[in-house]
Amino acid sequence: FTMLRILALALSLSCASAFTVAPSALPSSRLSTSSLNAEKSGALPFLPYPENLKGYAGDVGFDPLGFSDWIPMDYLREAELKHGRVCMLAWFGFVSVDLGARIYPLPEAYKGLTSVTAHDQLVENGAMGQLLLFIGLAEMISWIAISQMLMGSGRKPGDFALDPLNILKGKSDAEVERMQVRELKNGRLAMLAFSGVVTQAVLTNGPFPYV
């Protein structure tokens, strides 16, 4: 019986060793090694570089929530440019009204309004409904270009071939990219600035500069 026990123990050990994985073959080891060697984000050095941002103007590797991993990057850049452009116009328009800018002839109901108090009055008189209609039409038309871009038309995000002043005419690729980065930075700043100016205007109920 002793000999049988020894044979059984030897067989069990050999079977166990057959299913033992070498440390170098463990997925965790591969993952830890690859994570250490992976390129790091320039904006957030403690995170890996988001590969889908590569090749886009203004790329500093900033995507901490990983949106570019599950949403097409062209769509994300289109949305960023659109929101930035809208906020650049919105900040300028909001402040201009509070500085006295008006379109004449001015309806009697609109006299004495500020940018904050104008909203409810315009809703009551139906002007906001007209804005909703025209902006909705513009959005539907622009979606045609966006959907074609996502299907591989070759159109670049945010490019509607609108350059009436020929600012980019005759510019090198490096100069064009520099202008694109400027637009991105100004748009990002405008998104923060518009949020701030509306908040400050509501809190202070005062004229520009809302202090």
What count of residues does the chain have? 211
- DSSP letters, 135-165, are HHHHHHHHHHHHHHHHTT--PPTT-----TT
Per-residue pLDDT of the chain (211 residues; tens, 9 = 90+): 455 455 455 545 444 444 444 444 445 555 445 555 678 999 999 999 999 999 999 999 999 999 999 999 999 999 999 999 999 999 999 999 999 898 888 888 888 899 999 988 888 888 888 899 999 999 999 999 999 999 999 999 999 888 999 999 999 999 999 999 999 999 999 999 999 999 999 999 888 889 8
Contact between 168 and 176 (Cβ < 8 Å): yes
Whole-angstrom Cα Rg for the chain: 29
Looking at residue 19, its pLDDT comes to: 44
**Scanning the structure block, which residue is given the tokens 């890996």?**
48
pTM confidence score: 0.78
